[in-house]
Structure 1
Amino acid sequence: MAGSQCCSNPPTLNPHGGAGTVELLGGLKTYISASSNSKHAVLLISDIFGYEAPNIRMVADKVAAAGFYVAVPNFFYDDPFVYDNKPLQVWLKDHGTDKGLEDAKPVVEALKAKGFSSIGAAGFCWGAKVVTGLSKSKSFISAAVLLHPSFVSLDNIKEVNVPIAILGAEIDDYGPPTLLKQFEEILVAKPEVDCHVEIFPNVEHGWAVRYNADDQVAANSANEAHKKMLDWFSKYVK
């Protein structure tokens, strides 16, 4: 179900990275990055490498600089996927997306308790399935973005009820362009749900968060995806 593409380009984790701080939110340790005038919140849900990955925190800081209060929870309880510790399929048994969704709900409630009535959520790979679950109800989030999604089914997409942008890779075994086009067909048939589906050329699964910042071409593609994500939240999280 998941293999080399999900695990490629593993980051070097850094618990002290980023411009933000780590706080408890909804019962989970959470990387928080926020501007002084944040009026709306964004929940970022990582891929299998977790909330200490430098790029996910870099993305959080970028979204915060645009005026949002950004939360990146530690959904894996300090047990992100690590090569050679155990096979990915074994790791996934203890870190399923269903559990991630249940853990995400108290985080959303905690954000609301802070006064954020409008919340966006973006998920990368593993996190995209969790965000899709939150997208079933406007009582959870106002808008969603999926970046190189994994584990998301046609039935999941049929249940989406908030504006959703899906940003996929041309080279992707887990969210291939053919599947994302089917997602688009389902969403277009729901006129009450605004959607945007885009396939980024010449990039692989994971490109938006597991890129080498020193590789200008890779960084440019990732930055373009981040801008599209921010544009979506600026439009619908207000």
Structure 2
Amino acid sequence: MGDHCTTDRPTPEGEVPTGELTKLGGVDVYVAKPADYPHSPSKLLLLLTGGTGIKSTNNQLQADKYAAEGYLVIMPDQFDNDPAPNTVNMAELNKDASWLETIKMKSAEGIKSFMIDMWLARHTPEKVLPILHKVIEGAKEEFADAVANGGGIYGVGYCFGAKYILILAGDHPDTVAWGQESPTDEEQGAVKKAPVIKAGAIAHGTMVTKEDLEAVKSPVYIIAVKDDPLFPEEEVLTPGRQALEKNQVDHEVQIFPGVPHGFAVYGDYDDSKIKQSQAQAYGLMLGWIQAH
């Protein structure tokens, strides 16, 4: 994962989140509602973040932006109160010299990379998908009006969260859809779960596989960064796009050149090109969801 997946950009001056941290299905969530909800109809949108998680001010502001467009936004803590490490406290690490010896790394950057690898090992589909399903089932019950008004649940995902939007937009064996091992017995895997979300939009995914894209059945909009090693075009995006075309899945792919991985996540940049690209990416993702 890149730095932009694990570290927030500066928050635009004067902006303060307006949603609330609460629980849904027993899971911590950030909920952002349109100003006139429930007096005016809304649609339910599941927003899955990068590694900075639901307590990130920028992620909360991103949810608020979608809420201002008429969506009831649910942003779950898919990391179970364990967001990605973005700083290294050397004093704490030095308390355990033996641990430092085992990782055999001298630089703070190397330690951070190791810690992120360990963090990713704790947050696999087997751990994340059951959390998301709890939230989705809770949302269907608590916000049934918004689900009904939208004819289903919409989804947007950034960085880490993008992979899971694709999974939720896919047609998977029953076990795989809940984060379990793929069945070896063909009969056991015969029962499939239909896509959980009606339509999805993702930006600069990480750990996305071509198999994730091959399974997608709901309409998806994909924003990628040119020459992005975290979402490689040749190995993942191109074969994935070919599979979407072959399977006749409604989709679009937009590749942004000259911007860093993570550029679409809300936050301030000095570079005007990145700022413009960020605003454009948001507009494209919002427009896709609105059109479906």
Specify the TM-score bucket, using the shorter chain as the normaliser.
Answer: 0.7 to 0.9
Is 1:158 matched with 2:162? no
Mapping of residues 80-91 of structure 1, within 5 Å: 80-82=83-85, 83-84=87-88, 87-91=115-119
What is the aligned partner in structure 1 of residue 228 from structure 2?
172
TM-score by length of 2: 0.73
1:168-211 per-residue CA deviation (whole Å, 9 max, x = no partner) reads 112421113333232211111111x2001110121121111164
1:144 corresponds to which letter in structure 2? G
Q: CA deviation at 1:213?
A: 5.0
8 Å CA contact 2:33–2:64 kept in 1: the answer is: yes
Is 1:208 matched with 2:264? yes
Cα separation, 2, equivalents of 1:109 and 1:198: 32
What is the aligned partner in structure 2 of residue 120 from structure 1?
154
**Alignment equivalent of 1:185, drawn from 223, 231, 242:** 242
Q: CA RMSD in A?
A: 2.2
Cα separation, 1, equivalents of 2:277 and 2:73: 22
Q: CA deviation at 1:144?
A: 1.2
Is 1:30 matched with 2:29? yes
**Structure with bigger gyration radius:** 2
Residues 90/44 of structure 1: CA separation in 2 closer, same or farther (3 Å cut): same
- Could you list the structure 1 runs, at least 4 aligned residues long, displaced by more than 6 angstroms after superposition: none
What is the aligned partner in structure 2 of residue 94 from structure 1?
122
1:77 corresponds to which letter in structure 2? D
2:226 corresponds to which letter in structure 1? E
8 Å CA contact 1:43–1:121 kept in 2: the answer is: yes
Structure 1 unaligned spans of 5+: none
Is 1:19 matched with 2:18? yes
**Alignment equivalent of 1:56, drawn from 59, 73, 82:** 59
Cα separation, 1, equivalents of 2:5 and 2:202: 15
**Alignment equivalent of 2:163, drawn from 109, 129, 136:** 129
Residues 134/122 of structure 1: CA separation in 2 closer, same or farther (3 Å cut): same
Structure with the larger strand share = 1
1:149 corresponds to which letter in structure 2? G
Residues 109/42 of structure 1: CA separation in 2 closer, same or farther (3 Å cut): same
8 Å CA contact 1:97–1:129 kept in 2: the answer is: no
8 Å CA contact 1:136–1:162 kept in 2: the answer is: yes
**Alignment equivalent of 1:222, drawn from 256, 278, 292:** 278
1:48-68 per-residue CA deviation (whole Å, 9 max, x = no partner) reads 111122222122111111111
Is 1:107 matched with 2:135? yes
8 Å CA contact 2:8–2:58 kept in 1: the answer is: no
